[in-house]
Amino acid sequence: MHTFRIFILLTGFVLGGCASSHHNPKDPFEPFNRGVYQFNDTVDKAVFKPIAQGYSTVMPGPGKTMVSNFFSNLDDVLVTLNDVLQFKFVQAFSDGTRFWVNSTLGLFGLINVADRLEKHNEDFGQTLGYWGIDSGPYLVLPILGPSSIRDGIGLIPDTKASLITHVRHMPTRNQLILAEGISYRAGVLDQEKVLDTAAIDRYTFIRDAYLQHRRSLVYDGDPPHEKFEDEDDGSATGKTSADDGIKSSQPAVAKAGPVDTPVIVASAGSVSHQQPAVYRIWLTQREGIR
């Protein structure tokens, strides 16, 4: 499976390299990205969204919560591994404890017994950013949605380390992947309406929100100040770049990926409900493959 992801990542890089749009320095592949975005949106409206709506209608509220908790608990394994790679040992202990408690006392994660321990968001893309690797150009991946060169590469080790990937029985593994994607997509059905009213250009809105959010996560919610290119040294009071910055007051939030496509393997139930609804929409679409 990870070989296929490598293929679509390289395909996006090669085809995107032919693009000539320079409207945003972080999005040099914009024509290609918009085409993939339209494809993802079409697939979502035709397949994933109707399935998610049916699931949301049929599944009782407590059942949806338990499914979400189960996949969120599996995600804590990846979070803990990336905590260690970033030398965040105290956080790693907390996240590892969450997984152990919920996997045992919480009946394989169905019940979030360790809810008093903060749910963190770490992945290998963030780990690369933590050690100084730039995000590179924005890239929309088929089905997987918004990403970047760095984060797309980061999907490979995350997928390799995922507990679901290590399920040897293929039908069971595929059912888990499908169940996680449906649960995740169903979780943003109501919030999607906010995105429809908030964004004039959905593609631009999702791109800028994604880049800002990922930068915030790399710096644990406190990214350094960045000035505009034409900004004088004495006039840089509180300004940040629109495509790569975010206010330092924005806390780091739990995971996520955008409404242009459902994320087939995301970590359900991990989005912070303390965030504004518009943020939660694109947060719940990105963090694709775990």
Strand 138-141 relative to strand 145-148, pairing: antiparallel
- Residue 101's nearest CA partner among 82, 90, 114 is 114
Q: Taking CA 258 as the corner, what is the angle to CA 253 and CA 261, rounded to the nearest 5 degrees? A: 140
- Residue 182's nearest CA partner among 68, 77, 41 is 68
What would the pLDDT profile of 109-150 be if each residue is shown by its tens digit? 999 999 999 999 999 999 999 999 999 999 999 999 999 999
pLDDT for res 227: 58
Residues in Cβ contact with 21 at an 8 Å cutoff, skipping those fewer than 6 apart: 27, 28, 29, 30, 31
Residues in Cβ contact with 66 at an 8 Å cutoff, skipping those fewer than 6 apart: 110, 111
**141: β partners:** 145
Residues in Cβ contact with 230 at an 8 Å cutoff, skipping those fewer than 6 apart: none
Q: How would residue 93 be classed by pLDDT, with cut points 50, 70 and 90? A: very high
- Sorted by where each begins, the domain ranges of the chain are 28-230+237-286
- pTM reported for the whole predicted model: 0.71
What would the pLDDT profile of 187-236 be if each residue is shown by its tens digit? 888 777 777 776 578 899 899 999 999 999 999 988 887 654 445 444 44
